Amino acid sequence: MQFMLLFSRQGKLRLQKWYVPLSDKEKKKITRELVQTVLARKPKMCSFLEWRDLKVVYKRYASLYFCCAIEDQDNELITLEIIHRYVELLDKYFGSVCELDIIFNFEKAYFILDEFLLGGEAQETSKKNVLKAIEQADLLQETKEQKVKLSILH
Amino acid sequence: MSPSVPLQEMIRAIRSARTQCEERGVIQRECAAIRAQFRQADNGGRSHNLAKLLYVHMLGYPAHFGQMECVRMIASPRYSEKRVGYLGAMMLLDEKQDASLLITNSIKNDLSHSNQYVQSLALCTLACMGSAEMCRDLAPEIDRLLRASNSYIKKKAALCAVHIVRKVHDLGELFAPAARSLLAEKNHGVLHGAVVLIIELCERNPETLERFRKVLPDLVQIMKGLVLSGYSPEHDVAGISDPFLQVRILRLLRILGHNNEGASDAMNDLLAQVATNTDSTKTVGNAVLYETVLTVLDIKSESGLRVLAVNILGRFLLNNDRNIRYIAMTSLQKIVGTDHNAVQRHRGTIVDCLKDQDASVKRRALELSLALVSASNVRSMMKELLLFLSSCPAELKAHAASGIFNAAERYAPSQRWHIDTILHVLTTAGGDVRDETVPNLIQLITNASELHCYTVHKLYRALLTDISQVSVSNQSEIRFVTEDDVLDALETVLQSHMSGPLTACLSLHHFTTASRIRSIVSIYGSCIDVELQQRAVEYNALFKKYDHMRYATAR
């Protein structure tokens, strides 16, 4: 995968994960143009489109568009499954996820994504294992933070 | 200096701004506070500050002043700060920035941290944005982790190695031995990572590919286990056991079997099994079937298996899901040259897809339909294609028109049919006909001498009924229609499109009333439309130059 974008129906970016090195300017340009292209598509249209020299796979879940740019030899159908898996993970973590969860806890959305995909490829195919790892990492964060708070009091 | 507010309050404040200007104001204030906080000594709220900056960055505002803070946070002993620091590095730094080199040392240290979640952060960041230099530096560490760590780390190290190999191709050799031994692991995450790594190594180095053919039996074994095993709750997706891993293994099999009889034979039975046993009622099953088909068609598979694969694609074409129809056509396009007859069997369904609502599906159907035109089906196919042309989306018209011309040229059953077809295209989509094709058409019409009057007759009718862009070639032999009639019509056409773009080609062969044509054409020599002007000037020059040759260009 080259990159993944999450954006609302108004074109507001909620998450952007880039697996290829591009300048900020290039990223902004790609984002702007691709978001426009996807938003212009009608509801019953294909989830796949050829954009520039990339294959783009996108799916809409409620008010959010999940959009991935994949390589020429990648399987579009399994990419749809990857997107679906990520949505399931978010759903499990936040308990019936909605766009606001991702807005107000954007860093968590990234942490979950980074536990599911690494370098643009799936690293863990078991839903249970991904959620377990996030849980443990969150716990670690809390404990350490508590330790920090205690030290300030002194 | 305003006090910094927790992340969520800031987000709320930004969202409640009613105008762009107001939003900018809030953000400017916040950034100023964040900057000030960065300069201060450690106050326990550093991760919150950086998180706020990252949010602001996602909205599109500049955040480069946070880069050094990321570097500092990554070096912090606190997990919460490392976590946000690494996230910041992945968002604000890329390999082109100098600051990215500064985190190499921290990554190196964290790769051997006692806590696996810290190791994980380092691995993730390296795999996401590691530069070639960083990769070279840290490759030995990654290799070590591939061999001696727990499954959680191994699976991440494998994908990190993939990134390293993509950045520094010669490092592939370093990881080959470890990759091979990973195939013996039971953990699916590790297996998946191992297969992705082996694919990467094989794609880059033919010698490595040769060596990895030896693990074919192991791969077949693993795949069999997935396909034939019972329900496994941990990896099940709608009845398919770990479709992600299955798809990867199938891709590796494709690479190993390509151009190799022995390897292709060894995987034949397995592929047949997957093709027949995989449930195709849900997308996930079709994803596996799709990958299977791609593999079968790319290796030296036996004919029975090939037919099975093409039939799966044929079934896909009838699927209610538009996505499935689309990828079926993409695959069929790839094999229409090599397996022409097999694809011909599905011609009817493909032609039906010309009527699909989705432009991408239409485009695919068009490509495939054009490739399927042959001497035996040209009349019926052309009917469908001309029907398509009359209602197809604007962006496909030019391609469709030239495709039809090419097909007509190759397979026209008669000259009259050919000319009819051309005229039909010109009247339906004349404006979208590419300029380069027009001279060929004129030549064709000129050569079909016995049909000259027929052609002119039809053109005249076309002019009268539809005065949009039509290529006109006037022939000398006119029996049913007088030269003046044609010129009248032509004048009307030209006049009514005075201000619009008109690509009218006038090819004139020894016309007795050439002077009248010249006078019409001269008017357009000073026309506002540049193209018309250009044409007019060109033709005038042609008249002058070839005046003496007019009578010599006999048919």
Q: What share of chain A is helix, strand, coil (3-state, %, to 5)?
A: 50, 25, 25
Give the residue carrying structure tokens 């290829």. A20
Q: What is the pLDDT of residue B452?
A: 61
What is the rounded CA–CA span in Å between residue B151 and residue B157?
10
Q: Are B354 and B390 in contact (CB under 8 A)?
A: no
Mean pLDDT along residues B60-69: 91
Residue B108: pLDDT band by 50, 70, 90 thresholds? very high
SS3 for A88-115, per residue? HHHHHHHCCCCHHHHHHCHHHHHHHHHH
Dump pLDDT digits (tens) for A87-120.
999 999 999 999 999 999 999 999 999 999 999 9
Longest dimension (CA), chain B: 99
> Is B517's pLDDT higher than 80?
no
Nearest Cβ partner for A81 among B124, B193, B283: B283
Please tell me the predicted confidence (pLDDT) of residue B260: 95
Summarised one tens digit per residue, pLDDT across range B131-166 is: 999 999 999 999 999 998 899 999 999 999 999 999
pTM (two decimals) = 0.83
pLDDT at residue B287, rounded to an integer: 97
Q: Do B96 and A148 touch (CB under 8 A)?
A: no
Which residue type occupies B176? A
Q: Which tokens sit at A140?
A: 């670690």
> DSSP of B515-551, one letter per residue?
HHHHHHHHHGGG-SSHHHHHHHHHHHHHHHHHGGGGG
Cβ–Cβ contact B395 with A under 8 A? no
What ipTM was reported for this prediction?
Answer: 0.93
Using alpha carbons, select from B27, B44, B99 the residue that is nearest to residue B66: B99
Confidence of residue B505 (pLDDT cuts 50, 70, 90): very low
What does the block give as tokens for B449?
């001498």
Q: What is the tens place of the pLDDT at every residue in B278-293?
A: 999 999 999 999 999 9
Between CA B282 and CA B510 the distance in angstroms is 68
Q: Is A119 left (phi over 0), alpha (psi -120 to 50) or beta?
A: left
Task: Give B439's pLDDT tier (boundaries 50, 70, 90).
Answer: low
Write the residue in B60, B79, B237 that is nearest to A144 by C-beta: B79
CA distances B210 to A152, B263, B301, Å, are 61, 10, 19
List residues bridging with B483 in a β-sheet: none
- B526-545 pLDDT tens trace: 555 566 566 666 656 655 65
Asked whether A141 and B80 are in contact (CB, 8 A), the reply is: yes
Q: What is the residue type of B238?
A: A
What pLDDT was estimated at residue B397? 87
Q: In this complex, is the C-beta atom of A123 within 8 Å of any C-beta atom belonging to chain B? A: yes
Tokens of A133: 């790892």
The residue-averaged pLDDT of B506-529 equals 49
In angstroms, the CA A15 to CA A109 distance is 8
Confidence of residue B4 (pLDDT cuts 50, 70, 90): very low
Q: Which two tokens stand for residue A3?
A: 């990159």
Binned at pLDDT 50, 70 and 90, residue B479 comes out as very low
Handedness of CA B281, B284, B287, B288 (dihedral sign): negative
Whether A9 contacts chain B with CB within 8 A: no
Q: Is the pLDDT of residue B498 over 80?
A: no
The whole-number pLDDT of residue B544 equals 62
Smallest Cα–Cα separation from B435: which of B405, B395, B394, B396?
Answer: B405
The Cα of A98 is separated from the nearest Cα of chain B by a number of Å equal to 16
Find, among B7, B39, B41, B13, the residue nearest to B27 by Cα. Answer: B13
Both tokens of B447, joined, read 């050569």
Packing angle of the helix pair B46-58, B79-92 (nearest 10 deg)? 20
Total count of residues recorded for chain A: 154
Residues 34-53 of A with CB under 8 A from B: 42, 44-50
A83 and A118 in contact (C-beta within 8 Å)?
A: no
pLDDT tens track for B176-189:
999 999 999 999 99
Query: Cβ of A10 under 8 Å from any chain B Cβ?
Result: no
Closest by CA to B339, choosing from B311, B381, B317, is B311
Residue that is written with structure tokens 């380092």 in the block: B122
Interface with A, mutate which of B15, B202, B283 (most A CBs under 10 A): B283
Q: Cβ(B418)–Cβ(B384) under 8 Å?
A: no
Share above pLDDT 70 across residues of chain B, in percent, rounded to a whole number: 76
Residue ranges in chain A whose pLDDT is less than 70: 144-154
Mean pLDDT taken over chain B:
82
What sign does the CA torsion over B532, B535, B537, B540 have? Answer: negative
Is a pLDDT exceeding 90 seen at residue B216?
yes
What pLDDT score was predicted for residue B97?
76
pLDDT over 50 at B96, yes or no? yes
